[in-house]
Structure 1
């Protein structure tokens, strides 16, 4: 009984299989992207969050004398038990993000007794976590010494030394080291099982020997040694004036970190500071972490990324919706003759909605489920609720569309009258005018709200929809102007001798509103591509400016002090074209007042040569930062410090930033000639050219004063291109750049799909029209040209208007598109798109034109002209 009822549906589906298949493919792709793209972006946020906290920790630290520590924590077990107290008061986000506490206790530096030219210092550490992470290459771990009443045993401890420290000074197992009131015996020598373990980040001295200058140029060698639990008891109950550092370290677990938890960590760390400080049942402790600055930077980058990605992804969603509606509209257009016949025979609106909605449901629902399933299987990131909302909203929109169209066209009608509905001949209804006006008002309102609310408006859905609203409003304007352009072009071509151009424009002007929907889709796609390209170009310029601000030249080498011939050695390095010396002195002060500023002496003219535009033009004297100008004033002054003689400073202008100095810091730049005598010895050399880092590092080592080779903790080699590479490869920057690229590619692909969809679905009707023209003498070459002329106005108008809109969008959405978190605080105002993007735009246009020719060739009816002409006659 059911089989005959299904036959009309089967025949209808078989007859309309091209648009049904097209809608199914579009739905599958859209559902796949709706799941994978938000998940990919969220996964990028999480990876950036894990990179932000990688190797970091939160520590509870207390520094007290041995007597105080022994009173509260007499045994090493008491230190471990206390871990539960600190773990129990961790706030929720912080508790989920950290691992079990790792307690350890260290002493201040102990001088090894003996006659040495250079002092040897060792720090004693009770650290059970470190003991489990080392491998002994000689001897055994330190053991608890026998407990008896003899004075010697009361002061005796066993220690384990890192291999670099033992090898440097020739210490072996069994060596006795006098350490003040302690007599230490080396029980073993160890190396780390994994030197890259983040555990060693705050315990570097347990693995190395550190050599540095102290006092009047004296080299001091420092290391650390491991103790047993009994050794802890002896140092805690030994000399009462000995200082001990008691630390409970909470390592962050990368597996438990995501963007949501990292966003809450900053507040939790602040709350933990207060909670630890408020404990009165132990000696005073405080929370220490290196996460404050990274978390602040990540929070700013995350807000900016969500705002920018919200703008681009909303545009992509609108493009996908437009393409799906286009597919559904083309299917409805193919069904219209059948629906007209059914209505003429007395079918109700419900009966009309059956085949229209049924065929769409047949195409959309299985494809949407399959696309969503494939997206989940790909596992590009954590599933997002936004994906379900987007995919479900698009499916509902497509299924509701035929109902709305049927009600509008057939509601209350008893007769169907034909009339022109093309772009040139159709006259807009009042309802359409009201909707278009409302759309323009919404777009203007969104822009006004965005400008007023600033960077904090990035998460507002209305703000995120501003590019879509502006694109739709621009599309309305283009659709209004487009018919007049075609009409004017047709009148101009009517007087020409060639027929192809005139016929092509005439056929283009006969396209109805459904066929013009690709114009809006193409416009939005071009706008998204232009917006992404311009913002990415601005981000690249901001990175370049930040890299220049960090290094100050192509390269820079710096140390506490270099020798007189440092610049000559640097100039001799292959690849170096020029080098300029500078001297940086910290904490200089005026003759009166509490101000402390940094003094930078550099040859201003020479620096202008290697880094043009970084300093004010033709400075006559000293340049002061805004902070220094506020603290010191702009009158002549004298600056000095305990280690630097007086220098006369005559301000001549201001400078906002200088390489190596914090943005907004207090510093003074003076000409290098102001220095005299030994003060002219440089501490920094700015380099122009492309030298290798190894060569520059060798020149730096050779330029250090005698006796400090490898011992200057301030020495540093920075190369601008490496700094720039590090900025561009930062995790959150990669997320934003990948989002820009994906948005441009997806938008372009959808735009091309829209063109192909119209061309393929309308190929049969176009073939019938060309068949009549071929009877009149239209050649094959002319038909190819005709295909280009027909699609040309749509492509040029839509892509041109969309590209122009995309270029102005960064200026319109300026308060939301805040790139300063990625550029070291430098504002980016130049959003000019990279010229390299123009060939890509031209290639996309050529690809669309080639698709038109290819489809014209595929559906060429010349070989069966008689059959085509008989069809429909």
Structure 2
């Protein structure tokens, strides 16, 4: 057989099949790369956006005596080299070299009281290995050598120290002052300079916020505040600093470089961190001078495992969603290619039958057809695979396997179809004979598939998943249920849709016009050629609708999560009390429409040390501020008998609580609230009226409007502003969320395009037979308008029924999958459960399919009208 001659004869179909193959291979090879690349970007962004204190590997050691002290910088350097040698191989690419990033060494004391201050003022000492690069001196000078001084008749160390500028205003410290620190082992600190950070926004300072800021806090159950600051000391002070006299901790920070991370490595990275933590704990360090640390005193402090675990959970969910939608896209793409192969095989049927009748073997016939299909799809598959290299992202096995699967499916289907069709020479097929009814075996198998699909969906809803997806991979059961449900819906559709059409055909037979009866009767005839369009259209619509519903559900839940996270359009919080004039200044800021002051804090319950969080606020004013928002707050309780309080479930049933805040107050339980937007989600908490204290200390402002956050902070004098818009942006800007929604959008568009192509190919496959039938009917007086109606009635029912079933399946899949797909990671940790039935996209898809079917009917009728009726009659006579 001359393959090139056949290709030239059927050039149009070959071209269509090539385009379909090219697009399919590009999608199945390119989308996984793009998806995996986005996952890698998401990991790097997650590491970059997290606090350096959370990401970096910090080895700590607490000295308890002179034999454990490090007296000079060289000892720190040798320890740093030793700790870097303990880093597992999987972590080494992520650990930055010494002296880069946030890497450094430090020594700090903690809880060092100022002598005679009654435990209200603390000045700690801190040494940073790279302080000369991190700070600049704005007053005085840098600290110098450590000396000694006399105090209470004894000689004590005298440290020259520098303080942060905040300490001057918060703690009243000044250059030139000398303070005595410590009670049992006193020492003197002389303030010789004031420093500021060269770059306060540098992630480095998250390791040492206590050095960069002076802190004032009110401990639970107390009225007076406590003030803390950490003063910088020079290298020379290390010789005098000892764990025998102070609470002293040494630290070595090994910085993590986010750019070196990859999502494939996340499970291995988590295990590597755990291994290093164990190794550090058990390691006995010996610097060659005979000194050694106790095995129990080493520890590795890092939030990296928790960060990686959370990312892995979100990644596993993203992979699950991607697997479902990309798997559906692959199935639909293969189905459309199979339709194209069927169209080409049908066009070659006459020529191949002639070859078979003239003595050609079945191998020659099937092989010749398969070679023609291979000629059409192989170059396109290679081109699609090559184009996928333009998509940024790592290479994975699926990138290579996808195009091979497409190529193998096309060629294999062609060979199998031709082998079955031409297994005997001069095969005859009469379309006017009703097909044989399905066998009992086939009916039993179909019922079994439908039953298993329904049972699988029920079990998935009731039992959930049997594996920890983040740790053990995808649960095969989760991947089985959508496929089984789609197959079951396709089987039910194929079996049931002819029956209502036959009923309509019987009703149409009683009427005078013949077109409705002929059209519905033709549509109701169950033919094998109608199987593939159903199997393609149904999953295409189901998966695209599923993707649209998931995307819409994520979007609406993200908005709800942003409101619940902030609790108001704008929230200003301050560590310090906001006086009345500051609140009024904020109220007058342009853009502020409503303002509700509030006070938060920790209170003592009773007299046994039990504590709880508390919020004093005007609930009625807060509710007015939230008018039109998707969240609400509880109604204000009755204040007629005592001070009312809304309590958390942990405090339920106590009726009356003795609260120690600014003053001792008895509050009466008036209701239970499980959570409060913007403030509490769990634990012990109370909500009381704003005037519960005689002098409310406002530290929180709830604001409605579009005021500038910087202007609000300036008017208040201090504080931090969070907005609902900003919280929503932080959620939606998450790279994993963007990846999921981006792939869902691409998949929806691609599946819609494939569905339309399937309708067009379905029209073309039956075009010859349909044109012949219309030509015969035209000799009997069929008008062009009647021919169009007949074509529409033949095609449109299958399209509409399949579209409705696909729509129903797509809307039901999120509920059917239930706990199997946890999308809370992409919605601010809020469960995505109530999916809005937004029918815009599904309706547009169904309308597009119907429009294509109608357009195809008109085009087909116009082409049929050009045929010579005499030629048709002669062909009919010969057949």
Output the CA distance in 2 between the equivalents of 1:636 and 1:408. Answer: 81
The offset of 1:524, in angstroms, is 0.9
Deviates more, 1:197-206 or 1:469-478: 197-206
In the alignment, which residue of structure 2 is the partner of 1:127? 129
1:99 aligns with 2:75: no
Contact 1:52 1:295 (C-alpha < 8 Å) held by counterparts: no
Output the CA distance in 2 between the equivalents of 1:221 and 1:652. Answer: 39
For structure 2, the residue ranges without an aligned partner over 5 or more in a row are 151-155, 180-186, 285-291, 639-643
- The change in CA–CA distance for 1:821 and 1:732 in structure 2 (over 3 A counts) is same
The offset of 1:484, in angstroms, is 1.9
User: Out of 467, 472, 476, which is 2:482 matched to?
Assistant: 467
User: Out of 399, 411, 418, which is 1:387 matched to?
Assistant: 399
In the alignment, which residue of structure 1 is the partner of 2:288? none
1:418 aligns with 2:429: yes
In the alignment, which residue of structure 1 is the partner of 2:687? 669
SS of structure 2 residue aligned to 1:814: helix
The offset of 1:49, in angstroms, is 1.4
The offset of 1:490, in angstroms, is 3.1
TM-score of the aligned structures, taking structure 1 as reference length: 0.82
Output the CA distance in 1 between the equivalents of 2:726 and 2:648. Answer: 27
In the alignment, which residue of structure 1 is the partner of 2:657? 638
1:624 aligns with 2:647: yes
- The change in CA–CA distance for 1:849 and 1:404 in structure 2 (over 3 A counts) is closer
User: Out of 712, 719, 727, which is 2:731 matched to?
Assistant: 727
The offset of 1:243, in angstroms, is 5.3
In the alignment, which residue of structure 1 is the partner of 2:494? 479
TM-score of the aligned structures, taking structure 2 as reference length: 0.81
1:320 aligns with 2:365: no
1:787-806 aligned at under 5 Å gives the runs 788-806=792-810
1:202 aligns with 2:207: yes
Contact 1:18 1:761 (C-alpha < 8 Å) held by counterparts: no
Output the CA distance in 2 between the equivalents of 1:649 and 1:111. Answer: 36
- The change in CA–CA distance for 1:603 and 1:201 in structure 2 (over 3 A counts) is closer
- The change in CA–CA distance for 1:291 and 1:255 in structure 2 (over 3 A counts) is same
In the alignment, which residue of structure 1 is the partner of 2:287? none
Output the CA distance in 2 between the equivalents of 1:168 and 1:627. Answer: 37
Contact 1:39 1:382 (C-alpha < 8 Å) held by counterparts: yes
- The change in CA–CA distance for 1:864 and 1:344 in structure 2 (over 3 A counts) is closer
Contact 1:106 1:126 (C-alpha < 8 Å) held by counterparts: yes
SS of structure 2 residue aligned to 1:363: helix
User: Out of 662, 673, 685, which is 1:655 matched to?
Assistant: 673
Contact 1:314 1:468 (C-alpha < 8 Å) held by counterparts: no
1:623-772 aligned at under 5 Å gives the runs 623-629=646-652, 634-641=653-660, 643-672=661-690, 675-678=692-695, 680-699=696-715, 701=716, 709-710=717-718, 715-760=719-764, 762-763=766-767, 765-772=769-776
In the alignment, which residue of structure 2 is the partner of 1:371? 384
1:533 aligns with 2:548: yes
- The change in CA–CA distance for 1:92 and 1:851 in structure 2 (over 3 A counts) is farther
In the alignment, which residue of structure 2 is the partner of 1:83? 80
For structure 1, the residue ranges without an aligned partner over 5 or more in a row are 1-5, 702-708
Contact 1:697 1:717 (C-alpha < 8 Å) held by counterparts: yes
Output the CA distance in 1 between the equivalents of 2:635 and 2:147. Answer: 78
1:783-807 deviations in whole A, cap 9, x for unaligned? Answer: 6665544432222111111011111
In the alignment, which residue of structure 2 is the partner of 1:433? 443
Deviates more, 1:607-616 or 1:747-756: 607-616
Contact 1:27 1:364 (C-alpha < 8 Å) held by counterparts: yes
Contact 1:420 1:426 (C-alpha < 8 Å) held by counterparts: no
Output the CA distance in 2 between the equivalents of 1:684 and 1:197. Answer: 27
In the alignment, which residue of structure 1 is the partner of 2:822? 818
User: Out of 538, 542, 545, which is 2:560 matched to?
Assistant: 545
The offset of 1:226, in angstroms, is 7.7
In the alignment, which residue of structure 1 is the partner of 2:532? 517
The offset of 1:82, in angstroms, is 0.8
SS of structure 2 residue aligned to 1:677: coil
- The change in CA–CA distance for 1:182 and 1:614 in structure 2 (over 3 A counts) is closer
The offset of 1:497, in angstroms, is 6.3
- The change in CA–CA distance for 1:833 and 1:740 in structure 2 (over 3 A counts) is farther
Output the CA distance in 2 between the equivalents of 1:165 and 1:553. Answer: 33
Matched residue count: 823
Contact 2:542 2:807 (C-alpha < 8 Å) held by counterparts: yes
Contact 1:160 1:190 (C-alpha < 8 Å) held by counterparts: no
In the alignment, which residue of structure 2 is the partner of 1:586? 602
In the alignment, which residue of structure 1 is the partner of 2:293? 282
Please give the root-mean-square deviation of Cα atoms over the aligned residues, in Å. 4.4
- The change in CA–CA distance for 1:804 and 1:614 in structure 2 (over 3 A counts) is same
Output the CA distance in 1 between the equivalents of 2:772 and 2:134. Answer: 80
- The change in CA–CA distance for 1:790 and 1:588 in structure 2 (over 3 A counts) is farther
Deviates more, 1:486-495 or 1:470-479: 486-495
Output the CA distance in 2 between the equivalents of 1:599 and 1:609. Answer: 21
User: Out of 339, 345, 350, which is 1:332 matched to?
Assistant: 345
Contact 1:316 1:747 (C-alpha < 8 Å) held by counterparts: yes
SS of structure 2 residue aligned to 1:829: coil
- The change in CA–CA distance for 1:552 and 1:157 in structure 2 (over 3 A counts) is closer
